[in-house]
Amino acid sequence: MPYRVTFVCTGNICRSPMAEAILRHHVAEEGLDVEVDSSGIDGWHVGEDADHRTVLTLTRNGYRSAHRARQFERAWFATYDLIIALDRGHLRRLRAMAPDEETRGRVRLLREFDPDAGGELDVPDPYYGSDADFEHVRDLVEAAVPGLLEEIRTALKDR
């Protein structure tokens, strides 16, 4: 059974699909048995493609994206090994939805995996920003990927 990771942001069109595509690329390169997807806390964009600036940023940097937005459902807690929130607001909402303490422990912030993040653990929402804001989000995601991969490798070894 594969290790399952999901990323969660607000509407599932900017940050979480970007993180999904980037992590999916890296786990495929390593041949890890990991499934990666994403969703949003809110359902505003359900069924829509990722924001065109997300797709452009990913494409410019060698990543592929095929995405349809969806809303995170409480029942999904049972299906994921790791649920990655993109900011503290998402973290609070996901932990409040979680059915028990063990499940709440599987909800983490992406930037927790970046040793250089310091106290700035939120990935800012680029939706109302420029292309540079989307590139900044990509930089933050890529900075967290090595630590996240290490977490996943450890979990896979412990299975």
Catalytic machinery residues: 9, 15, 125
Q: Residue holding tokens 């990991």?
A: 34
